Amino acid sequence: MTYASKAIIDETAAYLASRTRIRPEVGLILGSGLGVLGDELDDSVTIPYADIPHFPMSTVEGHAGELVLGRLQGRQVALMRGRFHMYEGYEAERTTLPIRVMKALGVKTLLVTNAAGGINLGYEPGDLMVISDHLNLTGRNPLAGPNDNALGVRFPDMSEAYSRRLREVVKSTASELGFAVKEGIYAGLLGPNYETPAEICMLRTLGADAVGMSTVSEVIVARHSGIEVMGISCISNMAAGILDQPLSHEEVMETSEKVKERFISLVMAVLPKM
Ligand code: HPA
């Protein structure tokens, strides 16, 4: 069975449309510890992933596992609190079903966020990084297999995966709010182990500024679907081998907790301009 089939996408979208009058134009995917934004929506309905046909379950701590549909800053949004990862054992195509469904519901712009390890030595934990581009090093691709031309072209262009326009919007909005954001390249790996110091050296040589275990498949599917994308990483820790200390999911969650106010104010200010 393929999860990128029109029948499955339409059935899932029809279920969500039956639960609310909200017709989202903006999609938000909130990474580890960043889900608090879901509390800010008006006229909202919250639907656990377990209730949504064909959705997998979110198994990671810090990922609530629910879709919130509602209004935020005058925009109708579909907000994912928690996402699906390939390291949970799901196929790339299945982890990205929500993006196909968002497209079917009318989403035109997607904000993807994540927690990531800082590779660039000029970064520090707590920094926010606008994603300028990515390296798909997961060894997987959600578009592998037969292509349905109704969903997108066989060979989608990725030369501006992360919209230049939206990158400028995020940077200028941050400076209006009085803080600077970094801008850099996100390397997406399969996980679930954190990288070795040697792998981090390799990734730095390859041009990566940050590393994580999500996002790249979602962005590939969004671009295939013709959705404009912007990405923000929260640098939750320095990547392996940079500091003389082990990495842990607790540290990732703690840093996300510390930056959440700045992150929320940035997203709220960016939304009307998306
Ligand atoms: N590596 C990979 N994924 C991550 C990291 C990291 O250091 N921090 C948060 N997600």
**Ligand 1 nearest-atom number relative to CA 247:** 7
Rounded distance, CA 247 to CA 249, Å?
Answer: 7
**Ligand 1 nearest-atom number relative to CA 239:** 7
pLDDT range class, residue 218, cuts 50, 70, 90: very high
Rounded distance, CA 94 to CA 61, Å?
Answer: 20
pLDDT at position 187, please?
A: 98
For residues 169 and 273, is the Cβ–Cβ distance under 8 A? Answer: yes
Rounded distance, CA 173 to CA 268, Å?
Answer: 10
Q: Which domain holds residue 128?
A: 6-273
CA of 254 to the centre of ligand 1 (A): 13
Number of domains the chain contains: 1
Q: In this structure, is residue 1 part of a structural domain?
A: no
Residue 195: how many other CB atoms lie within 10 Å: 21
To test the pocket of ligand 1, the residue of 131, 236, 238 to mutate (highest count of ligand atoms within 8 Å of its CB) is 236
For residues 237 and 255, is the Cβ–Cβ distance under 8 A? Answer: yes
The residues assigned a catalytic role are 32, 63, 85, 87-88, 115, 213-214, 237, 249
pLDDT at 235 over 70: yes
Residue whose C-alpha is closest to residue 230's, from 126, 131, 105? 131
pLDDT at 62 over 70: no
Q: In this structure, is residue 227 part of a structural domain?
A: yes
**Ligand 1 nearest-atom number relative to CA 117:** 7
Q: In this structure, is residue 79 part of a structural domain?
A: yes
**Ligand 1 nearest-atom number relative to CA 118:** 7
Tens digits of residue pLDDT in 91-104: 999 999 999 999 99
pLDDT at position 96, please?
A: 97
CA of 116 to the centre of ligand 1 (A): 4
Which has more pLDDT, 34 or 154?
154
Rounded distance, CA 123 to CA 105, Å?
Answer: 37
Name which residue sits closest to atom 6 of ligand 1, judged by CA: 117
To test the pocket of ligand 1, the residue of 63, 211, 235, 253 to mutate (highest count of ligand atoms within 8 Å of its CB) is 211
CA of 194 to the centre of ligand 1 (A): 6
Tens digits of residue pLDDT in 138-177: 999 999 999 999 999 999 999 999 999 999 999 999 999 9
- CB-based contacts of 226: which residues, under 8 Å, 6+ apart? 103, 152
Name which residue sits closest to atom 5 of ligand 1, judged by CA: 117
pLDDT at position 1, please?
A: 64
CA of 181 to the centre of ligand 1 (A): 19
Residue whose C-alpha is closest to residue 170's, from 27, 268, 29? 268
pLDDT at position 114, please?
A: 94
Average pLDDT, the chain: 94
**Ligand 1 nearest-atom number relative to CA 240:** 7
Beta strands 228-238 and 109-118 are parallel
Helix (H) or strand (E) holding 168: helix 164-177
CA torsion through residues 115, 119, 120, 125, sign: positive
Supply the pTM of this predicted model.
Answer: 0.96
CA of 251 to the centre of ligand 1 (A): 10
pLDDT at position 63, please?
A: 61
pLDDT at 194 over 70: yes
Instruction: Spell out which residues line ligand 1, taking CB within 6 angstroms.
Output: 115-117, 194-195, 211-213, 236-237, 239, 247, 252
Return the minimum-mean-pLDDT range out of 48-52, 90-94, 244-248.
Answer: 244-248
Name which residue sits closest to atom 9 of ligand 1, judged by CA: 116
CA torsion through residues 214, 46, 224, 7, sign: positive
Helix (H, G, I), strand (E, B) or coil at 76: strand
pLDDT at 197 over 80: yes
CATH number at residue 49: 3.40.50.1580
CA of 112 to the centre of ligand 1 (A): 16
pLDDT at 260 over 90: no
What tokens appear for 183 in the block?
A: 């801008």
For residues 273 and 73, is the Cβ–Cβ distance under 8 A? Answer: no
Work out the burial of residue 12: count CB atoms within 10 Å of its CB; fewer than 13 is exposed, 13-18 middle, 19 or more buried.
Answer: buried
Average pLDDT over residues 104-110: 98
Whose tokens are 């608090």? That residue is 36
